[in-house]
A and B are shown apart, each in its own frame.
Chain A
Amino acid sequence: MTTGASPGGAETEPELPAEAWVTALTTLDGMGPARLAALLAAFDDPADAWAAVGSGDLSVAGPAVAELLGPKREGTIEAWMRGARHLDPAECWRRHVEAGVGAIIRASPSYPQAFVDDPEPPSIVFTAGDPDSLVGPRVAIVGTRDCTRYGHDVARRLGAELSSAGVSVVSGLALGIDGAAHAGALDVDGAPPIAVVGSGLDVVYPRRHGALWDQVVQRGVVLSEHPLGSAPVAWHFPARNRLIAALADVVVVVESQERGGSMHTVDEAQRRDVDLMAVPGPVTSPVSSGTNQLLADGAAVARDATDVLVKLGLGSGARRSTTERRRAPSPVDQQVLDAFDWQPAVIDHLALRTGFEIDDVALALDRLERDGWIERRGGWFERCAKPERARREP
């Protein structure tokens, strides 16, 4: 797809591939996926679409484009025209090629199969990493950014187990559940992870996940609808969620509030008849309210990777036994551990439930934390389902 300038071509008119013109169009302000799709549908050649935008005369594009532009169409067309004049498509394309970013348009033979029959297919997909990572079975693991230790543990374990079973983990690289799922997938040597992001592929967001992002690029692929340099604007994320839903064979929601961003992914999955699964959580936990509601509405239960694999038609349903390698707690510590009820707790709660002195509880908590039974977050303690692989040894 990197044809570059034609041999012996004049400098003023280098022959650019169709991808270059689409890329140039995506850089324009307010050019969302729907507008881009309508614009490209109106012209046979993306270069003509670019020329029409540059001329400021979109009447040739037909009523579909005009309708999408809405009441402020004059201003938008004007802005596009100005934007198009200031941008050199060849220069823009050269930047993408030099950065090693792939660009796949709908006409490309490598256009992902998952998007072909999609109700809202992306007109262009930028890729960092290996685009062939998209061939295997895929499960999206999504959830809230503000997750509990429980959600974090479950997401990480699901990511690791699905990945080692040969299923690619699709997620958004966001904080919380998304990141935990990818971290789990990277913990094992398994199927390539897939991330869909809402910014340009050179704009790492959230920045805290820079290392995770790089690892996904190396071992799998990061996808984006946006050209290099695009900021993570709020409206990119719902659009990003639709791609996650479109890529997934199954969407697993680990933890989400009833009105969380993950519920948008759920809606998109339902539009596409993608199977939906949810991880049950405590009925008292606000971040499990959304997932518990999904279960009540008939979503399948995802207790572990086996449940998901069965849904995918890949598993037998035989459960793996989990081996326990933690040092068994002493009887006193066990009492403190039992007082948790699998809910986050502070020392005050535990002292009240066990009847121990607070400094005895504190000491017990330190031992439990050392042996990997609990995890500390500020003054809160949470019981761990399983010690993390990448646990730092003291």
Chain B
Amino acid sequence: MLATVPSASLLGVDGHPVSVEVHVASGLPGFTVVGSPDSVCREARDRVRAAILSCGLTWPPQRVTVNLAPSGLRKGGAALDLAMAVGVLVASEQLAPETIADIAFIGELGLDGSLRRVLGALPLVDAVVQDTVVVPPPSMFEAALVGRHRVRSARTLRELVDALAGTEPWPDIEVVRPPPEAAATLDLADVHGHPMARRALEVAAAGGHHILMIGPPGSGKTMLAQRLPGLLPDLADAAAIEATRIHSAAGASLPAGGLVRRPPFRAPHNGASSVAMIGGGAGFLQPGEISLAHGGVLFLDEMGEFGVDVIDSLRTPLEEGTVRVARAHARVTFPASFLLVAAMNPCPCGEGLRPGSCRCSDASLLRYSRRLSGPLLDRFDLRIEVMPPDPSQILRGQDGESTAAVAERVQAVRERTRARGVDTNALLSSRALEEVAPLSPEASSFLERALRAGQLSARGLRRVRCVALTLHDLDAVDPPISVKAVSFAMHLRVEPRFLSRRLAG
């Protein structure tokens, strides 16, 4: 007899509906799964059989064939286990077909028949067109976020069969909510001194400009970077759902409210591989750190210590806001629009910022400068040198402005920016820039001088204009761009010393 059970499978961060067709007929007893399952999915044979037997149900002593349609889609993971088990039970007439009408099943099975959590419950449930969906208890919260379905759950296959058959009521299972996040404790008010760095963070948050901080150990680079997400406004609805899908697909924990509303902050260690960074993986394509940082901040501490190829693989995502991961069997596009914050030491000895205090040899400096390619450096609109603050400021300095005060200005800038039709100033095309950010005559001659002196490339000129526009927005002053804004934008874009050092004879 034949049974068809709806379910869903994950590819990248998107769920795709899958029909699980189970055919039980006379023949040599056996269990085959066809329809491009990956190895984890194929192992479902053993899990499903053991789970059915553990629950006191009968395994049909017949030939069982499972087809996963559409067969062109590669199915990975164990989320189809439950649908296969239900299919076998219906096809072997232990459950009536009408009991599963208009119900989709998503879940992994344990050998004892228990229902286990699946990765990406949110996008999986989102792909389901039926009215009711059955998911494992730990995934109920994510499933409910979609909001279109009646979400059912059971602790074991036995409970599920009883509930479907109507012999027992649906079990009363409490939705497990993630613990509430600790309130953001990192306030910009704790930062003493660092006027330039504070200003640069504000500009980065307001205009979406990537920022590179160069400074000796202990100068406060990490402390500053950690305070950047607090300055960013909440994610808009569409962006929040996108970010939540990515977190769900990667198995990352979701905030108590369900949707990822606050911009995420990802700080991978410098040992990260390029697959961990941009996404991918054997068989089952998973989003990488840059996608988990979608809508938020990707912080690369000690950028000089990351693999050169890892760093260079960031270039296209930085340009396009998405990353296309292609493998022989599947191609997936992950959203990856993030604010890149990088910190690095000025040179291997770490002391090289102040003229005349570095102990590095020329050769080691040269090696160090090769770690950061020119094209990637170009992506940073803001490059600042962070120095340890003056001792008097550490001890007696007043608290700086609080995160809330700065975030308010940032929010105002973002609203001004939206009127220009883009999310952030950094995304303005050069034509749009020409239109919305005309230069004052003094600013124009200032930039001409910088161009003639070779301090600025054509690309650099565009980026400086962008940052100058953000500076204007922060002061709520309309263009034309003043010479002061242009000058300050150039000061926020210093050539890293380890690239230029010792060039002067």
B356 A359 Cβ-Cβ under 8 A: no
> Contact flags (1/0) for B192-221 with A, using CB distance below 8 Å?
011110010000000000000010000000
Interface residue B427 (Cβ < 8 Å from any Cβ of A):
no
How many angstroms between the C-alpha atoms of A287 and B358 in the bound complex? Answer: 10
How many angstroms between the C-alpha atoms of A206 and B384 in the bound complex? Answer: 29
Interface residue B185 (Cβ < 8 Å from any Cβ of A):
no
Q: A348: which of B358, B387, B484 is its contact (CB, 8 Å)?
A: B387
Q: B491: which of A145, A183, A286, A365 is its contact (CB, 8 Å)?
A: A365
Q: Would you call the interface of chain A mostly helix, strand, loop, or mixed?
A: helix
Closest to B453 in A: A394
Q: How close is B138's CB to chain A, nearest CB, in angstroms?
A: 50
Q: B355: which of A182, A208, A344, A352 is its contact (CB, 8 Å)?
A: A344
Interface positions, chain A 331-345, Cβ under 8 Å from B, are: 344
B357 A286 Cβ-Cβ under 8 A: yes
B355 A380 Cβ-Cβ under 8 A: yes
Q: B487: which of A149, A359, A379 is its contact (CB, 8 Å)?
A: A359
> Contact flags (1/0) for A347-375 with B, using CB distance below 8 Å?
11101100000111011011000100000
List, in ascending order, chain A residues with CB within 8 A of B356's CB.
144, 146-148, 151, 255, 285-287, 344
Interface residue A279 (Cβ < 8 Å from any Cβ of B):
no
Q: How close is B65's CB to chain A, nearest CB, in angstroms?
A: 69
B353 A348 Cβ-Cβ under 8 A: no
Interface residue A179 (Cβ < 8 Å from any Cβ of B):
yes
Q: How close is B173's CB to chain A, nearest CB, in angstroms?
A: 57
A146 B502 Cβ-Cβ under 8 A: yes
A348-B355 CB under 8 A given contacts A183-B505, A362-B488: no
B387 A152 Cβ-Cβ under 8 A: no
A346 B196 Cβ-Cβ under 8 A: yes
> Which of B76-84, B287-295, B493-501 lies on the face that meets chain A?
B493-501
List, in ascending order, chain A residues with CB within 8 A of B484's CB.
359-360, 362-363
List, in ascending order, chain B residues with CB within 8 A of A105's CB.
none
Q: How close is A182's CB to chain B, nearest CB, in angstroms?
A: 8
Q: How large is the interface on B (under 10, 10 to 19, 20 to 34, 35 or more residues)?
A: 35 or more
> Which of B353, B355, B484 has the largest count of A CB atoms less than 10 A from its CB?
B355
Q: How close is B439's CB to chain A, nearest CB, in angstroms?
A: 16
Closest to B193 in A: A348
How many angstroms between the C-alpha atoms of A378 and B355 in the bound complex? Answer: 10
Q: A206: which of B362, B446, B495 is its contact (CB, 8 Å)?
A: B362
Interface residue A212 (Cβ < 8 Å from any Cβ of B):
yes
Q: B502: which of A145, A182, A285, A363 is its contact (CB, 8 Å)?
A: A145
Closest to B500 in A: A378
A346 B385 Cβ-Cβ under 8 A: yes
Interface residue A307 (Cβ < 8 Å from any Cβ of B):
no
> Contact flags (1/0) for B282-319 with A, using CB distance below 8 Å?
00000000000000000000000000000000000000
A146-B354 CB under 8 A given contacts A347-B196, A379-B494: no
List, in ascending order, chain B residues with CB within 8 A of A360's CB.
484
A175-B453 CB under 8 A given contacts A346-B387, A358-B196: no
How many angstroms between the C-alpha atoms of A285 and B355 in the bound complex? Answer: 9
Interface residue A46 (Cβ < 8 Å from any Cβ of B):
no
Interface residue A271 (Cβ < 8 Å from any Cβ of B):
no
Q: How close is A366's CB to chain B, nearest CB, in angstroms?
A: 5
Interface residue A225 (Cβ < 8 Å from any Cβ of B):
no
Q: How close is A329's CB to chain B, nearest CB, in angstroms?
A: 16
List, in ascending order, chain A residues with CB within 8 A of B355's CB.
148-149, 344, 377, 380, 382
Q: How close is B249's CB to chain A, nearest CB, in angstroms?
A: 41
> Contact flags (1/0) for A159-188 with B, using CB distance below 8 Å?
000000000000000011001101100000
Closest to A347 in B: B196
Q: How close is B359's CB to chain A, nearest CB, in angstroms?
A: 8
How many angstroms between the C-alpha atoms of A377 and B483 in the bound complex? Answer: 22
Interface residue B393 (Cβ < 8 Å from any Cβ of A):
yes
Interface residue B459 (Cβ < 8 Å from any Cβ of A):
no
B502 A379 Cβ-Cβ under 8 A: no
> Contact flags (1/0) for B461-505 with A, using CB distance below 8 Å?
000000000010000000000011101101100111100111111
Q: How close is B406's CB to chain A, nearest CB, in angstroms?
A: 15
B503 A379 Cβ-Cβ under 8 A: no
Q: How close is B385's CB to chain A, nearest CB, in angstroms?
A: 3
Closest to A174 in B: B505
Q: A176: which of B393, B491, B502 is its contact (CB, 8 Å)?
A: B502
B387 A378 Cβ-Cβ under 8 A: no
B496 A392 Cβ-Cβ under 8 A: no
Interface positions, chain B 251-277, Cβ under 8 Å from A, are: none
A378 B505 Cβ-Cβ under 8 A: no
How many angstroms between the C-alpha atoms of A109 and B347 in the bound complex? Answer: 50
How many angstroms between the C-alpha atoms of A366 and B449 in the bound complex? Answer: 11
How many angstroms between the C-alpha atoms of A147 and B357 in the bound complex? Answer: 9
Interface positions, chain B 148-186, Cβ under 8 Å from A, are: none
Q: How close is B311's CB to chain A, nearest CB, in angstroms?
A: 21
Interface residue B390 (Cβ < 8 Å from any Cβ of A):
yes
A351 B449 Cβ-Cβ under 8 A: no
> Which of A144, A344, A370, A377 has the largest count of B CB atoms less than 10 A from its CB?
A377
How many angstroms between the C-alpha atoms of A370 and B452 in the bound complex? Answer: 13
B505 A208 Cβ-Cβ under 8 A: yes
Closest to A152 in B: B504
Q: B195: which of A147, A182, A348, A370 is its contact (CB, 8 Å)?
A: A348
| 15 A-B residue pairings within 8 Å (CB atoms) | A145-B502, A148-B356, A179-B505, A212-B505, A286-B356, A348-B195, A352-B390, A358-B195, A363-B484, A363-B487, A377-B355, A378-B385, A378-B494, A379-B494, A380-B355
- A-side residues, CB < 8 A to B, are 144-149, 151-152, 175-176, 179-180, 182-183, 206, 208-209, 212, 255, 285-287, 344, 346-349, 351-352, 358-360, 362-363, 365-366, 370, 377-380, 382, 392, 394
For the complex of A and B, list the 3 residue pairs with the smallest distance between their C-beta atoms, beginning with the closest. Answer: A379-B385, A378-B497, A179-B505
- B-side residues, CB < 8 A to A, are 193-196, 199, 214, 353-358, 362, 384-385, 387, 389-390, 393, 446, 449, 452-453, 471, 483-485, 487-488, 490-491, 494-497, 500-505
Given contacts A182-B505, A377-B355, A377-B500, 10 further A-B contacts (CB under 8 A): A346-B387, A347-B195, A348-B387, A349-B387, A351-B195, A358-B196, A359-B485, A378-B501, A379-B491, A380-B353
